[in-house]
Structure 1
């Protein structure tokens, strides 16, 4: 009270319920009120593993126990107070970490991602709002951005999406040549970084169950009471088979309220986290081969964005949270003068668009070649012969094979790993795609590559359309010679 010149001893006898031989594990002054102090005690050396946390509102003259609902066998090692919310506290115990934002009411255990182990020390990284926990024998654990706990209360109706911290705009590098530790082996220890992009925290009051889940839950309750479980009607089972399982979807919006991406989130009661890697929705050509694969478009520009949480019930998306707003910021100013970010992102989109169009052209070309092969087979089964039709069909087949070679290169060279005589459109696209790995913007070579590839595509699409038109009259000619009908899908 006087800068350390005089110290006042506090007798343990004045602290209600505290054993006289207890050890002081931690003592902290309140960060916002000079009269308040918190103390953590430990009596396990005498076989007493009870938790002891006390709070004083008058500089230690009187004390109040705030252990509340912490289990009786869970001694406490550390206490730490949030630097922004005076009511938010964390404690390190013999069996994990707890928090409260109502110190006189309830403590809640933080159990996801950390073992049920002794947490001997706690620290807060104030800039990032990260909680660091030092364990006994199990290393260090970090809870990234716990700021959502400041807003948490038990009066949440259905769900709450907390405002995320702002994220940085940059391209990740694989410093070891691959993902995580690449080929370094098991002896090379690394810990996971926080997910790249924006990390969202949300709270669900309850998990959303399907009709089948609810039926099984009810049957389990009946079994536990030794009551009869009746076999459900077939109509009930059929309806369950048709039902779309409930799920949680996070929508990401641009500043003009356009949907940037929809992210599948976790349908689980309590706190959950999901991250957005700053990419837009993929415009990849969809087919039966890839429609179920996870795909992403190019990275968006930095700026202002928003997000909202939805529940998907029977295929319908229904909002369950308010909109939250956040920013994506450049990580730092480039050493070399970069092009405008708008130009860079537009170039990325141009590359992806051309890649998708060329891929679609390849798929269409493959289907058209298959169609011509079917037409040739149809001609072979016709009751009449016509050399002109036969010649046209094989000419079309050759045109398609030549166009395929112009687009994709020589098949005979490819089979033995020999390079093509001239670069294909794919060579130019991949040369331009290297700009996707940085934020400086496209080089002249990359711009030239995409221009050449675009011109090639324009030429190919004209050739493809001409072949497609040439097929139409031949279909009529085949009917005239009594050839089998063709499924023109």
Structure 2
């Protein structure tokens, strides 16, 4: 039992916990839990709000969140061990300041930060929708394989799966663009990702603030994403579970996402 308990034991973890002036946790920065002297730096950014599956960029760097607003912050070194946490050092207070004022008057910092957060929220929704759609497509493909091994004549379930697959294709086009046009470099530009990219790229490395064009792009992205998200959630929450149940009832073999079937 002692050996098994040791096998299950998680390694100790150190984190630098960043809080704002109100005590709200802004970031948890991993720190080396090893012997010796180590330096841990916070990049003055919020955590990335997109899917945790988002890969590194072409430079091999992980995705980044938006900058925090100038103000008072604190850092505390926390140890997590065996499911319990305790502070090792801090909290230490410090100020985040704007480096300089630009030649042109920008928007108030509170307004800039609010826009950053709005962009991050839509970016998180779009990222989640894309990965959820990929998972739904894989699930339907698995269901198709299971259906082919079901002791039942082709009919209603085949039609339901076909209809669902076609609607997933439509959602993919809404979220990611026209695949056939992209293959020949003729993709349309007015889609969710393009509008969001315009809003993000214009403000992600600047504290000047959004222009009317950036605000309009974010509004377009939010408006276009809303019905797609609603349709996708309906499929994930209602249609896929119903199809899983129907397949099991028809005698289909188990596939990923289904409950463990009962015995005789």
TM-score, with structure 2 as normaliser:
0.81
Q: 1 or 2, which has the higher strand percentage? A: 1
SS at match of 1:323: strand
Written as runs of structure 1 = structure 2, the 5 A alignment for 1:347-358 is: 347-358=115-126
Distance in 2 between the 1:478 and 1:267 partners? 48
Asked if 1:340 is matched to 2:111, the reply is: no
The separation in 1 between residues aligned to 2:36 and 2:163, in whole angstroms, is 66
Structure 1 residue 325: Cα displacement: 1.5
Correspondence for 1:483: 252
Query: Residue 255 of structure 1: which of 21, 24, 28 is its match?
Result: 21
> Larger radius of gyration, structure 1 or 2?
1
Residue 328 to residue 238, structure 1, CA distance change in 2 (3 Å): same
Equivalent-residue separation in structure 2 for 1:467 and 1:270 (angstroms): 52
Distance apart, 1:391 and its partner CA:
1.9
Q: 1:305 to 1:473 in 2, by over 3 A?
A: closer
**Counterpart residue number, 1:431:** 198
Q: CA deviation at 1:398?
A: 1.0
Contact 2:49 2:123 in 1 (8 A): no
Q: Which residue of 1 aligns with 2:70?
A: 302
1:438 Cα deviation after fit:
0.7
Distance of 1:237 and 1:256 partners within structure 2: 44
Residue 432 of structure 1 aligns to a residue whose secondary structure is helix
Aligned-residue offset at 1:411: 2.1
* The one of 330, 334, 337 aligned to 2:98: 330
Q: After the TM superposition, which residues 7-26 of structure 1 pair with which residues of structure 2 at under 5 Å, given as runs?
A: none
Which consecutive unaligned segments of at least 5 residues does structure 2 have? 259-264
SS state at 1:400 partner: helix
Is the CA contact (8 Å cut-off) linking 2:55 and 2:62 kept in structure 1?
no
Within 1, Cα distance between the matches of 2:6 and 2:251? Answer: 50
Matches within 5 A, 1:23-422: 243-246=9-12, 248-266=14-32, 272-287=38-53, 296-314=64-82, 316-416=84-184, 418-422=185-189
TM-score by length of structure 1 reads: 0.46
Secondary structure at the aligned position of 2:114 is classed as helix
SS, match of residue 336 in structure 1? coil
In the alignment, the residues of structure 1 paired with residue 117 and residue 253 of structure 2 have an alpha-carbon distance, to the nearest angstrom, of 45
Secondary structure of 1:280's counterpart equals coil
The 8 Å contact of residues 142 and 256 in structure 2, kept in 1 or not, is answered as no
Q: Which has the higher contact order (CA 8 A, sep 6+)?
A: 2
Q: Separation in 1 of the partners of 2:233 and 2:33?
A: 48
Show the counterpart of 1:112. none
Q: 1:385·1:481 contact (CA, 8 Å) conserved in 2? A: no
**Where does the alignment leave 5 or more consecutive residues of structure 1 unmatched?**
1-234
Q: How far has the Cα of 1:313 moved from its partner?
A: 3.9
Tell me, yes or no, if the aligned pair for 1:351 and 1:433 is still in contact at 8 Å.
Answer: yes
